[in-house]
Structure 1
Amino acid sequence: MTITHGTILGGLSTVPDLDAGLKAYHDVLGLSLVEQGQLDADLATSWGCPASAGSPYAVLQPESGEPCWFRLVEQPEHPDFRPTRTYGWAAFECTVQDVWRWPKELPAELFTIVGMPKNIENMQLTFIPMQALGPGREMVYLNEVLVPESDLFLPAARSDVDRIFICVLATPDREASLGWYIDALGLERGTDYTIPYTMINKAFDLPAGTQTTLTMLQKGKMPIIEVDDYPPAATVRPRYEGRLPPGNALVTLAVDDLDTCKAAWLSAPTAREGALYDGRRAVTTMGPAGELLELVETG
């Protein structure tokens, strides 16, 4: 895959036990382990999370070799964190080869299935999703693409579990978040969808038919971020002082030129080595829903 402006280079999740995280992502989902160690203090500080320095971490990549990295950072569970109830990154959507195999292959001690594979009402039948919580209560969608080319380009998986192709953002103000990404990063507004969003309805004890509106942010036909309206009962995500947000913690996108982005950096852009960075400049900002967004200059 060619890395273009807006390409999802990775999603970072926090897990209470890195060994369990590796069992989930490496042993079960079949991702390749490409890097492991203790989190560099300068990198943690660049994320605005200096207390995460020294935490055990691992980096994994699909066996297809797609330029998308799954990062796991160990940190204690936060007792007040409840998935799909707070603002910020809500889920990472991955493309898989056979969604129907996964309900019976996800061990209960590592994954909690919250949505079985099914078709989505009010949307074109382009992929079949299922949803599960991983060992850090991070939300992972396993989506089998049926129609790679429609109004969007949806990548068909070339390994059992392949790249992240959509990141889901929960926001208190969908229009404000859309405007920020368009103005700051030059992304484009895609289609609005209004659907009975099962996971949101379950999380907030709403009637099954309650409708949620979401909008896709994209670059050309490449989807990048699904921006979801969240109910008034949603709250700011609880987190330990100086540490990463629990669950789906941080998203990394490729940008052509950091100097043309109109966002406030948490620290100065820095060239970084290692998996995902490969010597390129990277910097982190915070989006309007409190989400951590890392940008890597690839142009």
Structure 2
Amino acid sequence: MTAHIVTAQAFQTPGRIAAGTVLTPDLAASLADYTGVLGLEVIDDSPISPQEAASWAAPAMAGRPARLLRAPHATPYVTRLIAATPVPGYRPLKTFGWAAYEHSVVDCDALFAKMPGSGFTVIGEPKLVPGFDNFIPFQVTGRAGETLYLNQVLNGSMSDLDLPNTRASVDQMFIAVLAARDREATLAFHTKMLGFEQGETWVIPYSVINNSFGLPPETTTAMTMTKTGRIPASEVDQYPEAATPRPTAPGELPPGNAIVSFLTKSLDAVAAPLLGPVLHRDGPLYAGRRSAAVRGPSGEIIELIEAA
């Protein structure tokens, strides 16, 4: 099956990732990176409301400046940047929770060439991954401590998943990478409590993780996909024993990769306990639909938005 462009109509499907939220201690600088380097445009500049903060069980986020961004000529996917308190000692790819956002890009080499001198640090140059010949990835960390995987789809989908192509410089997050304390427990939560399906498992040398923890390059990591039909959702990675819970400022969301927002068929079918009240929200991300949030076993915050 060949790679495909996801239309705006097809995007509104349960299981799709609707948004990724990044907490940043320097909103202006991060905004310059996401607009100037990644080519995104601001579509909303409303601050975080007390109701939103309560729905995430993060009361200190109320009133914080925020920006919603979207790529022109792309899917309705939204990147959300929120101003946050610096967290001493936080380092990307060292803690449990959302570890990285994996985006589709139109041209890896062209985007890679824009990284020098920006707020992004390349931690993995564009190259084919052994055993995966249908996309070229490269990886960066941002000034907020977030990690982005930037993938150019080449020549087809995986055995049980469809990988989206794009015409935009940077488009939708199509996989959320999760650093798990206990991979099996995390998979059980995402499947039994949230309704995702379990996909394939791979055991591979994972250079991003090995480099982060100073492990020998041949060290392998077990990783399992979750999905909805052929739509990928999360890559659940079993993180090393040296990983720790993510340090977080009191009353705030986790720093860096903070929230992944999924479209869901109905909040009434969610078995997991909610972090706060169910909201009807307006704006370009929610469009009047109901939303709520849960916390997974590795500390990951999952926001669920009912599909149109």
TM-score for the superposition, normalised by structure 1: 0.97
Taking the TM superposition and a 5 Å limit, the aligned residue runs for 1:45-84 are 45-84=54-93
Corresponding residue of 2:31? 22
Corresponding residue of 1:127? 135
Corresponding residue of 1:232? 241
Secondary structure in structure 2 of the residue aligned to 1:38: coil
Secondary structure in structure 1 of the residue aligned to 2:45: strand
Deviation at 1:109, TM superposition (A): 4.1
1:9 to 18, 32, 37: 18
Secondary structure in structure 2 of the residue aligned to 1:37: coil
Between the aligned partners of 2:114 and 2:158, the Cα distance in structure 1 is 30
Between the aligned partners of 1:74 and 1:269, the Cα distance in structure 2 is 23
Q: Is the 8 A contact 2:54 2:277 kept in 1?
A: no
Secondary structure in structure 1 of the residue aligned to 2:36: helix
Taking the TM superposition and a 5 Å limit, the aligned residue runs for 1:1-299 are 1=7, 2=10, 3-121=12-130, 123-151=131-159, 152-298=161-307
Q: 98-107 or 65-74: which moved more?
A: 98-107
Deviations 1:151-178 (A, max 9, x none): 2100001211111100000011111111
Q: Is the 8 A contact 2:55 2:292 kept in 1?
A: yes
Q: Is the 8 A contact 1:44 1:50 kept in 2?
A: yes
Deviations 1:41-71 (A, max 9, x none): 1101211111011111100012124121000
Q: Is the 8 A contact 1:31 1:62 kept in 2?
A: yes
User: What percent identity do the matched residue pairs reach?
Assistant: 42
Secondary structure in structure 1 of the residue aligned to 2:298: coil
Q: 210-219 or 36-45: which moved more?
A: 36-45
Paired letter, 1:70: T
Q: Is the 8 A contact 2:67 2:80 kept in 1?
A: yes
Deviation at 1:186, TM superposition (A): 1.5
Deviation at 1:255, TM superposition (A): 0.4
Secondary structure in structure 2 of the residue aligned to 1:202: helix
Q: Is the 8 A contact 1:188 1:220 kept in 2?
A: yes
Deviation at 1:95, TM superposition (A): 0.3
Aligned-residue Cα RMSD (Å) equals 1.1
Q: Is the 8 A contact 1:147 1:154 kept in 2?
A: no
Structure 1: tracts of 5 or more residues without a match: none
Between the aligned partners of 1:99 and 1:223, the Cα distance in structure 2 is 21
Divergent runs of 4+, >2 A: 147-150
